[in-house]
Amino acid sequence: MSKQLSIVCFFLLLHCCVKSFAQQATPVYDTLKIGGIRQVVSYTGSPERPVLLFLHGGPGSSRMRQAELFTSELSKHFMVVQWDQRDAGRTLALNKSPLPITLERMEEDTYEVVLALLKKFNKPKLYLAGESWGTVPGFKMAASYPELLYAYLAFSPVINQEESERMLIDTLKAATRTDKIAQGELHKVKIPFENAEQVFYSRKWMFHHDGLTFKEGEIKEVKKYLEDWAAVWLPTWNAAMRRNLFQTLPEVKCPVYFFIGQKDLQTNHGIATAYYEQLKAPAKRLYAFPDAGHSVLVEKADEVQKIIIEEVQGGARALPITCIPLPEEHFMLIAYERQIILPVGNRLPVIAGLLQ
């Protein structure tokens, strides 16, 4: 099965002021002075509501243009904030980073954005959500500044990414053992990645494993995209990959909520589940979606928004595992130190980005 791959185009935005906010579906754009440059954020919802800040994946992959897919209901209950990080999306269109991009710089930017939003909306705390790469600065915020967070939501979290990437390559090698081209390309991949070519081979065969393929005409474009990406982001991504939260972050002081797709091989779902089970927190929950992959935030947008509104914002705490009679085939029980009933939906074959 072939799916059209899109590479996001970035557009320059207008500066908007907080007085123009209303509870709207159309986002309002703003710029914040963060880390010495102007960085673009968008607001959807009412400033009277709690702030919910999303940290996009990548690194370098804006989510602003897809945000309506997973925030249409959230914006009725929160002031939803999307932020295009340094050298990503609208922020890159506005100004390129004059500083080398490091993991520490990105984490400091995140802290500054949080402080700026709390000041702008006159709030003591906010809700923070990270997706994939975005969970890296997200976990740093939860670890270092839990007093600023009502809760931290981790989607497809990066926990021990070196091990996750090794497991992925092993899985792909086993699945393509009779394919000489796949074997040759996968054996060139080193972890951590050394160059864009290795990233390409890893993601090419991961998509193939999921039943998705690049069209012949797309391969050149994808390779060019990854070469440009690697020139900026590969050292930072490798630094993030080397972190192992099992060793460095055994406890956080704010509520945490994990959202994982059990088909996710990119940020391995088994690693995420094992880390969740050992993580200490004042309250925690794990939502596991059996028929979702890495882009669980988009694939299960309706269910995710319902959970955030009804359980996360409601301050639900961890529950003991209990047995509940389930209606026929419409619901299933997912239990990790608590009970959750999630509707089972059809998988949406969404490619949110090569490196989300």
Interval 125-148: pLDDT, tens: 999 999 999 999 999 999 999 999
- The reply to whether 165 and 69 lie within a common domain is no
- The reply to whether 262 and 170 lie within a common domain is no
- The reply to whether 118 and 173 lie within a common domain is no
Q: What share of the chain is helix, strand, coil (3-state, %, to 5)?
A: 40, 20, 40
Consecutive H or E run containing 269: helix 269-278
Interval 147-202: pLDDT, tens: 999 999 999 999 999 999 999 999 999 999 999 999 999 999 999 999 999 999 99
Is the pLDDT confidence value at 320 over 70?
no
- The reply to whether 190 and 303 lie within a common domain is no
Residue 14 CB partners (closer than 8 Å, separation 6+) = 29
Residue that has been written with the tokens 């009412």 in this structure: 46
1 within some domain: no
Decide: residue 142, CB within 10 A, 0-12 exposed, 13-18 middle, 19+ buried.
buried
d(CA 169, CA 242): 17
Number of H helices and number of E strands within the chain? 12, 10
Interval 281-290: pLDDT, tens: 999 999 999 9
Number of domains in the chain: 2
β-partners of residue 53 are 81, 128
Q: Which of 195, 223, 241 is the last residue of a domain?
A: 241
- The reply to whether 88 and 114 lie within a common domain is yes
Q: Which of 241, 266, 299 is the last residue of a domain?
A: 241
Is the pLDDT confidence value at 44 over 90?
yes
Q: How much is the pLDDT for 319?
A: 38
Range 284-307 average pLDDT: 97
Range 314-331 average pLDDT: 38
Q: How much is the pLDDT for 314?
A: 81
CB distance 13 to 90 below 8 Å: yes
For the sheet containing 51-55, what is the strand order?
28-34, 37-44, 79-83, 51-55, 126-131, 149-155, 256-261, 284-289
Cα angle for residues 195, 196, 202 (degrees, 5° grid): 100
Is the pLDDT confidence value at 32 over 80?
yes
Interval 246-284: pLDDT, tens: 999 999 999 999 999 999 999 999 999 999 999 999 999
24 within some domain: yes
> Which residue type is seen at 268?
N
Q: How much is the pLDDT for 214?
A: 85
> Which residue type is seen at 213?
T
Q: What is the average pLDDT score of the chain?
A: 85
- The reply to whether 48 and 194 lie within a common domain is no
Q: How much is the pLDDT for 194?
A: 98
Cα angle for residues 308, 273, 264 (degrees, 5° grid): 80
CB distance 54 to 129 below 8 Å: yes
What are the structure tokens assigned to 270, written together? 């088994």
Q: How much is the pLDDT for 354?
A: 53
- The reply to whether 324 and 204 lie within a common domain is no
Q: Which of 197, 219, 241 is the last residue of a domain?
A: 241
Range 215-244 average pLDDT: 95
β-partners of residue 289 are 261
145 within some domain: yes
- The reply to whether 151 and 64 lie within a common domain is yes
- The reply to whether 201 and 270 lie within a common domain is no
Give 16-73 as a DSSP string: --GGG--S-SS-EEEEEEETTEEEEEEEES-TTSPEEEEE--TTT---GGGHHHHHTT
Residue 292, classed as helix, strand or coil, is coil
- The reply to whether 131 and 259 lie within a common domain is yes
- The reply to whether 32 and 96 lie within a common domain is yes
What are the structure tokens assigned to 288, written together? 């596991």
What are the structure tokens assigned to 93, written together? 């269109």
Dihedral of CA atoms 104, 105, 106, 111 in degrees, nearest 10, equals 90
Q: How far is residue 336 from each of residues 50, 156, 320, measured CA to CA in Å?
A: 27, 16, 8
Range 226-253 average pLDDT: 98
136 within some domain: yes
Decide: residue 46, CB within 10 A, 0-12 exposed, 13-18 middle, 19+ buried.
middle
Q: Which domain holds residue 76?
A: 18-160+243-343
What are the structure tokens assigned to 281, written together? 């927190």
More confident residue, 9 or 121: 121
Dihedral of CA atoms 131, 29, 310, 314 in degrees, nearest 10, equals 100
**Length of the chain, please?**
356
The pTM score is 0.83
